[in-house]
Amino acid sequence: MMQYFDLSDDQFEKIVVAVGQRLFGAGLMGFDAGIDGGRDAKFKGTAELYPSAAAPWTGCTIIQAKHTNGITASFSDPAMCNVEKLTGIICDEIPKIKALYESGEAQNYLLVSNRKLSGVAEPKLVKLISDMTGLPVENIALAGTQQLDDWLELFPDAQASLSINPLQSPLIVSPDDLANTIEGFREAVQVAASDEDRSIPTPRTTLVEKNRLNNMTPEFETVLRKRYLELTADIRKFLADPINESFKASYQEAVEEFNLKIVAKRTDHDTFDDEVCSGRGQDRTLGPFVSDFPSIFACKQDMRPSERRDMRQKVW
């Protein structure tokens, strides 16, 4: 089975043309952009094998290829056709098909897409197209991934004739592969967290330089190091625990908001000290965020581990 979702639109159209030439005949013309920007393939005459050799379509057949990079896409998706609201890919094409049929330029319509097509959705969509264009039901057909697979198996020379360069395919990451990667990375981080050095990390930039850049006074820096920096390992361990996954998301949002507020308020204060403490007694912005740290993480040493953990989860 070909991974159609991994192809570009042009590559998918090449497959439809190759199969279409076996079903209708070598005279099938490929996908050329029309006046309205649409890309249709056409065949004029009597089809060789479609829908069957015994009762082939005659006249002009319009073939459209609708490609998607969605792995689990289906004809039942609202994006393909919302029957109630009359929106979606199929509904967008109906005015053009109706115009071609009424002008005598089209007698048959075939829509091919790399989507799953169920036995329930097919007759409903065919009837909708018929009702809105005037085309007879027997002159309308839809083909999904299963039909494409069957055709390529029936015509192995069609697939052999294709020259599809994988490097021209769109850059797509499989959700399953990405999920496995994230899960593996998460496990690796947890293992590393359990074995890491709990001492205060060595800064890549000296504290003196950081204080100068942030305009923080030495006195304020000393208090921060004494009261909060030693809690870094506890915070990291707490957030690495899967049971605290929901708290981790809240923590990350708080950190992001904290950083943005620091940037936004930096020009309003002479020193970093004033900036961080400016929220005390006002709108609970920056000052309380820092001052609440001891109540969250500075657990008493005489607590049992379970009690300490419960308290952190409740306060977080």
Write down the architecture of domain 4-168 according to CATH. 3-Layer(aba) Sandwich (3.40)
C-alpha 227: how far from chain center? 43
Q: What pLDDT score was predicted for residue 40?
A: 83
Helix (H) or strand (E) holding 287: helix 286-291
Q: What pLDDT score was predicted for residue 30?
A: 84
Q: What pLDDT score was predicted for residue 202?
A: 58
Q: What pLDDT score was predicted for residue 197?
A: 56
Q: What pLDDT score was predicted for residue 276?
A: 62
Q: What pLDDT score was predicted for residue 114?
A: 96
- What is the mean pLDDT, run by run of 10 residues, along the chain of 316 residues? 86 94 94 62 96 96 93 94 93 94 95 96 96 97 97 92 64 55 59 56 70 81 76 78 78 72 65 61 41 39 45 38
**Contact present, 22 and 50 (Cβ < 8 Å):** no
Q: What pLDDT score was predicted for residue 282?
A: 40
Tokens at 235, concatenated: 């915070």
Q: Report, in angstroms and rounded to the nearest whole number, the Rg of the chain calculated over CA atoms.
A: 32
Q: What pLDDT score was predicted for residue 310?
A: 46
CA distance 31 to 140: 19
C-alpha 153: how far from chain center? 31
CA distance 11 to 13: 5
Q: What pLDDT score was predicted for residue 217?
A: 84
Q: What pLDDT score was predicted for residue 23?
A: 97
CA distance 106 to 98: 9
CA distance 238 to 155: 59
C-alpha 98: how far from chain center? 34
Q: What pLDDT score was predicted for residue 94?
A: 94
Phi, psi of 82, rounded to the nearest 5 degrees: -100, 100
Q: What pLDDT score was predicted for residue 124?
A: 96
* Residues forming CATH 3.40.91 domain(s) in the chain: 4-168
